[in-house]
Amino acid sequence: MSSLNKPVHISSELASGVFQICRPFFKQYGLNGFSYSRIYSDGARTELWSNALAFEHAFYKETYLVGADTPSYVSATERFAIVEITVNEYPKFWRAQCKQQLGDLRELFNHDHAFMLINKEHEYHEYIIYYAPVFAVSALNFCINNLNALEHFADSFKLKAVELIQAADRHRLSLPCMHFFEDEGEQLVRSKLPVCSTTSILTLREREVAKLLLIGKVAREIACLLHISPRTVESHIKHIKVKTNCSNKSELISFLYQL
Give pLDDT, residue 2: 38
Identify which has the larger pLDDT, 148 or 201.
Answer: 148
pLDDT digits (tens, 9 = 90+) for 205-246: 787 788 788 777 888 888 887 778 888 888 888 888 888 888
Give pLDDT, residue 209: 84
pLDDT digits (tens, 9 = 90+) for 23-37: 999 999 999 999 999
Mean pLDDT of 159-166: 98
pLDDT digits (tens, 9 = 90+) for 43-76: 789 999 999 999 999 888 877 666 566 666 677 6
Q: 236 with 119, same domain?
A: no
Contact 243, 228 (CB under 8 A): no
Q: 165 with 223, same domain?
A: no
pLDDT digits (tens, 9 = 90+) for 110-131: 999 999 999 988 889 999 999 9
Residue 3 in any domain: the answer is: no
Q: 124 with 214, same domain?
A: no
The residue from 143, 170, 197 where one domain ends is 170
The residue from 170, 199, 219 where one domain ends is 170
* CATH code for the domain of 216: 1.10.10.10
Using DSSP, state whether 202 is helix, strand or coil: coil
Q: 32 with 130, same domain?
A: yes
Residue 200 in any domain: the answer is: yes
Q: Full-prediction pTM beyond 0.85?
A: no
- CA nearest 55: which of 108, 12, 7, 112? 12
Domain total of the chain: 2
pLDDT surpasses 80 at 172: yes
- CA nearest 196: which of 82, 92, 78? 92
The residue segments making up the domain with residue 245 are 184-257
The residue from 136, 170, 204 where one domain ends is 170
